[in-house]
Structure formats: structure tokens, C-alpha cells
Amino acid sequence: MDIQNNKNVTEEEWTTIITFKFAFFTLTNTACLIFLVINGIIIYTLCSGPVFVETPRYMFLLNLVVADSIVLLISQLLYVLSVFVILSYPLCGVFVMISIMSAHISPFTLTVMSIERYIAVCFPFHHPTIVTIRNSIFAILSVWGMICIDIFLHIAFLLEFPFHLLPSLQMNYFCISTALLIGPRSKVYEMGSTITVFLFSGLVITLSFIGVMIIALSASTDKASADKARNTLLLHMFQLSLNLMSTMALPVFTDVATLTDPIMAGRLFVVVYIFLVMMPRCLSALTYGLKDPCLRPILVSRLCCRLQISTNTVTAKTHDGQKKTKLHPVPEFT
């Protein structure tokens, strides 16, 4: 905004606007950096040893935290760009499609993780043959494949706008999915797609939980294993709620903000953006990692900057004074 071209804005008001922008920019970038560092530590830990790399549930967790980190990075990049420049429609579309793809990966990954826990409790003898590394990789690739098809459909609906006018079309302010949708069919598809993803994921997790509870009532089942699986599924439901909150917070706030004072809306936006959009993308994987008995001590140590602790070995002395290393067993989730 140029002061000379807008007499309605005083020098004091302009200074206030610049101060707010600088404060908001600093707060959001600092928060995003912290969340990305935490996610980066989780990713590094999950990639640092065979105990994690060769265990299906940790492979699913890695897929989850990578997708959440991409959403964090793209969201912050769009926020930073919105402060300095006005994005064109095509460029905004590229960023938003990547963000939507990563955001939809998370609930589907939680669905796969819930099915894995259900198989572990209800079909314990078949679990080693069903939940293999090969099948886990296939499940992850299938999730990404389904989301890519969804993204192609999103792009097809976005092309409702005359193609030759797209390069000159610019976003009004923020580059988010709701502002990107022009045609009525694209808006309906976006809403329907998001609702379908979260309803399907919630239904599968709920049915898995019910199945585990039924098995837990059986006299022949392992009560401890069933209780652990039940707690895991409850955690997955909590993670799904975090993902839903992160996905819906910004579009809902954008609609509500038009009814309030712009300065007040700007202040509230930072709170909503940090605590309801970005933070859930960090808490989702972090809560799982801190709950897992194999990951917890390593994550706590590395979050405290003690990176010298090994991720998958323990040193012990033998009877002849030699040192040897042996793999930790992967404990059941508690």
C-alpha cells in the first residue's frame, strides 16, 4: 500500500500495519521452524536404524510425518509469499495442490495404521505374513496413488476458468484452496473430497476399534495386547481429529474473518494459523513417538540435543570382557 496514493491511511496507521506484519512474520516463521525441526528429528530417527526402517508401523509413521512436514512447509511458504507478493492463479494452484495432496495423505495413512493394529490383535498368527515390508510399501504407494488421482480431478475442475486468461489472473490476498476455487463444481468437489476422506478414515478407525474391543472381551485373547491396540486406535482417532482441525481451521476462519475488523482479524489469524493449522501437523507424529516405548527415549534424548545415543543398539560386555552389540526387540505399542 502506498501512503501517497491513499490519503485515508495516516503515517501512524501505516507504522502500525508494518509493525503487525513484522511481528506476525516473525512469530509464524519461528513457530514453523520449531515444528519442522521436531518433525525433522522424528524423520531422522525413523531413518537411522533397521529396527525402525524394517518395521511396518514405523514405515507408516514416517510416511505420516513426511506428509505433515510438506503441509507445514507449503503453508508457511504461501504465508510468507502473501506478505510480500500477490501470486498468480497458476502458481497458487501448484502450491495448493501439493498442500491438498499431503494433507489427504495423513488421514489415509492413519487408516492403514489402524488396519495394521486390527490385524495384529484379531489375526495374530497371520499378522507376520500379511503385514510385511513389501505389503507395507505397496500400501503406502497405493495411498499416494489414490491421492494423485484426486489431485488430477482437482486440477480438471480448476480448469473451468478460461485457460488463456489464467496467466493474468491473480489471487486477491491469501493463496488458499477456498480462494482458488472459482467454478461451482470445483467448490462442490473440494468439499465432497475432504468430507469423504475424513469420513472414510474415521469410519475405518472406529470399526477397527470396535473389532478390537470385541476381541478383547473374548476369554482366549491376549488382554494386554488388546488393551495396547485399543489405546493405539484411540490415539489414531485423536491424530485424525488434529488433521481435521488443521485442514478446516483456515478456510472456516477466512469466511468468518470477513465479518470482523481487519486488524483484529489479522491478530486472530496468527493465533489460528500457529495453534490450529501448524501445531497439529507437529503434534500428530510427536504424540505417537512419545507414546511408543522404542521411540520415546530416543526422541526425548534427541529433542534435548543429545544426538550421540544410538537408535537401535545397546552395548553390553560379554564374559571375556569383549563388547558386543545386539538389536533391541521392537516392543508392543503401549
Which tens digits make up the pLDDT trace of 113-131?
999 999 998 888 899 999 9
Instruction: Inform me whether the pLDDT recorded for 132 exceeds 80.
Output: yes
DSSP-assigned states of every residue in 204-217: HHHHHHHHHHHHHT
Residue 295 lies in a domain: yes
Residue 72 domain-assigned (yes or no): yes
What's phi and psi for 308, nearest 5 deg? -80, -10
Give the model confidence (pLDDT) of 256-270 as tens digits. 766 777 667 777 888
Domain residues for the domain of 242 are: 28-162+179-306
Is residue 47 in some structural domain? yes
Beta strand pairing status for 323-327 and 313-317? Answer: antiparallel
Place of cell 534424548: 301
pLDDT band at 13 (very low <50, low <70, confident <90, very high): low
Question: Does some domain include residue 269?
Answer: yes
- CB 309 within 8 Å of CB 301: yes
| Percent residues over pLDDT 90 in the chain | 36
- Of 41-45, 49-53, 63-67, the one with minimum mean pLDDT is 49-53
Residue 20 lies in a domain: no
- Kindly state the average pLDDT of the residues 217-240: 83
**Of 234, 298, 321, 303, which is closest to residue 52 (Cα–Cα)?**
298
> Which of 17-21, 77-81, 299-303 is predicted most confidently?
299-303
Domain annotation covers residue 211: yes
Counted domains in the chain: 1
Quote the pLDDT of residue 170. 60
Residues 51, 312: Cα–Cα separation, whole Å = 6
Residue with the bigger pLDDT between 179 and 323: it is: 179
Higher-confidence position of 184 and 64? 64
**Res 324 pLDDT > 50:** no
Domain assignment present for residue 44? The answer is yes
The CATH number of the domain holding residue 200 is 1.20.1070.10
Closest CA to 71 of 261, 202, 250: 250
The one-letter amino acid at 177: S
The answer to whether residue 143 is domain-embedded is yes
* Higher pLDDT among residues 140 and 190, named by residue: 140
Find, among 276, 209, 273, 208, the residue nearest to 243 by Cα.
276
